[in-house]
Amino acid sequence: MPMQMVGQVPDELRVKLSVWLTLFSLTAVSFALMYAGALLVSGAIYSLAEALTGYAFRVETLDSINSWAGVGCFATGVFVFACLVRGSLETKRRRA
């Protein structure tokens, strides 16, 4: 086993940390993109509905749409992260 200097991180731990950081970053980015997309779609639907009917949504309705879009995107992000974690754990078990 090679000697390590004080303050050095073992390679195995460095790889694990980089994998987890990558998984977390990908999940956060996908959540942000999905939320932005949901707001963009709801804004387009709002504009279309206003143009077709001549009426605007109430502020409470828009807040509700934004809140539910955030909840849905957060839940999807958590699901994606859980799937990535499960896949990495299954891969780890197969190698052992």
Residue 19: closest CA among 94, 96, 73, 91? 91
Q: What are phi and psi of 3, to 5 degrees?
A: -75, 145
What is the average per-residue pLDDT within 68-73?
82
What are the structure tokens assigned to 24, written together?
């977390």
- Give pLDDT tens digits for 77-88: 788 778 877 877
pLDDT band of residue 2 (cuts 50, 70, 90) is low
Does the reported pTM lie above 0.75? no
Distance from C-alpha of 90 to C-alpha of 93, rounded to nearest angstrom: 5
pLDDT band of residue 96 (cuts 50, 70, 90) is low
